[in-house]
Amino acid sequence: MQIGEASRATGVSAKMIRHYESIGLIPAADRRDSNYRDYGAEDVHRLGFIRRARDLGFSIEEIRDLLHLWGDRGRESRDVKALTLSHIAELDQKIALLGEMRATLSHLAHCCDGDNRPDCPIIESLAGAAPLQHAHRH
Amino acid sequence: MQIGEASRATGVSAKMIRHYESIGLIPAADRRDSNYRDYGAEDVHRLGFIRRARDLGFSIEEIRDLLHLWGDRGRESRDVKALTLSHIAELDQKIALLGEMRATLSHLAHCCDGDNRPDCPIIESLAGAAPLQHAHRH
DNA sequence: CTTGACCTTCCAATGATGGGAAGGTGCATA
DNA sequence: TATGCACCTTCCCATCATTGGAAGGTCAAG
């Protein structure tokens, strides 16, 4: 199977498959006489694993860990669960931060008439006249 | 005021102040004889505006729009409100996506015993045995 | 034998920020 | 005065995951 077919089978772009190989996330693919990469069922399976993990927001380094756990027959599900829980905590943090941003903006938008007059509390808030309550630096 | 003091006064790093100047987000600062940048009250005000907008998650291009609206005396608060509402919609989308990711992971973690046995539903899900319900590509 | 789809490598860009090198400036203190 | 130190300058590179494109090689069908 050429890289294009592997890409279509897994939803991972050919660009990214080559990239994952270059950073050592996946082993170097076999080559045909034409120097084209050649993929088998196991490679497709691994790429599918990677895509699903990325869809869940795992970083490349976390996926690298997961692949090791996946490939290790003696792995402890405890480790996998710990990695997952840590990821959930990260997601909670992001969600909370975005929620605060949204609340602040929503409050401002609600106070803003939205008509032609230039008295806009949103701009005034940003200008520093009334300090924002929910602002956070990142 | 030198760039370091302007940085401390606004919470924007000196690196970023120079960067914002280089991309035209702020006008080129006055220079002293020493070629050091020189900032006044107006510059600090504008940098504070930028920092607050960034704290709220506005992108550089959105902030560029806001700065124009801010500087335009005849601005319509309608435009500012529209920009804010569009930003709220973006935030809602991100929050929803993260929420789905969290639900999927939480479900998996709940099903994962977390003991020594290698029967880990998290790994099995990622491996494709049981397709995830909440997976999204981005 | 040409066309077009596919593949290869390499280089560069995205967005926001940080790190650091190499060198100039300004001020206080020994 | 000299030395040190904090500050400034420009320039290049790194991050992270991904995309785009250029320049060129390979393969199948028409």
pLDDT for A135 equals: 39
CA distances from A60 to A18, A52, A53, A76 (A): 14, 12, 9, 21
Specify the pLDDT at position B5. 95
Contact A112 B76 (CB under 8 A): no
Task: Say yes or no: Cβ of A130 under 7 A from any atom of strand D.
Answer: no
CATH topology of domain A1-75: Multidrug-efflux Transporter Regulator; Chain: A; Domain 2 (1.10.1660)
Distance CA A92, CA A36 (A): 43
Using 50 as the pLDDT threshold, list the residues of chain A that sit under it: 130-138
The CA-based diameter of chain A, rounded to the nearest angstrom, is 71
Flag whether residue A99 sits within 8 Å of chain B, measured between CB atoms: yes
Q: What pLDDT, on the 0 to 100 scale, is given for residue A132?
A: 44
Q: What is the DSSP string of A24-63?
A: TSSPPPEE-TTS-EE--HHHHHHHHHHHHHHHTT--HHHH
**Mean pLDDT of successive 10-residue stretches along chain B, which has 138 residues:** 94 94 92 94 90 82 82 66 82 79 80 64 63 39
The reply to whether A110 touches chain B by the CB within 8 Å rule is: no
| Residues 69-128, chain B, CB closer than 7 Å to nucleic strand C | none
- Give yes or no for A116 touching B (CB within 8 A): yes
Q: Which residues of A touch B57 (CB under 8 A)?
A: 98, 101
Interchain pair B74, A113: CB under 8 A: no
Å between A108 CA and nearest CA of chain B: 8
CA of A52 to C1' of D23 (A): 34
Report which of residues 6-65 in chain B place their beta carbon less than 7 angstroms from any atom of strand D: 7, 14, 18, 29, 35-37
Structure confidence at residue A134 (pLDDT): 41
Put simply, whether A56 touches B (Cβ < 8 Å) is: yes
Nearest of A11, A48, A4, A5 to residue A26 by alpha carbon: A48
A33 touches strand D (CB under 7 A): yes
- What pLDDT score was predicted for residue A128? 66
What pLDDT, on the 0 to 100 scale, is given for residue B74? Answer: 54
CA dist A50 and A11 (Å) reads 10
CB distance from A137 to chain B under 8 Å? Answer: yes
What are phi and psi for residue A35, nearest 5 degrees?
75, 5
- Residue A93's SS3 state is helix
pLDDT (0 to 100) of residue A85? 84
A84/B112 CB distance under 8 A: yes
Fold for B1-60, please state it: Multidrug-efflux Transporter Regulator; Chain: A; Domain 2 (1.10.1660)
Strand C footprint nucleotides (protein C-beta < 7 Å): 6-9, 15-20, 25-26
Positions of chain D reached by protein Cβ under 7 A: 7-10, 16-21, 26-27
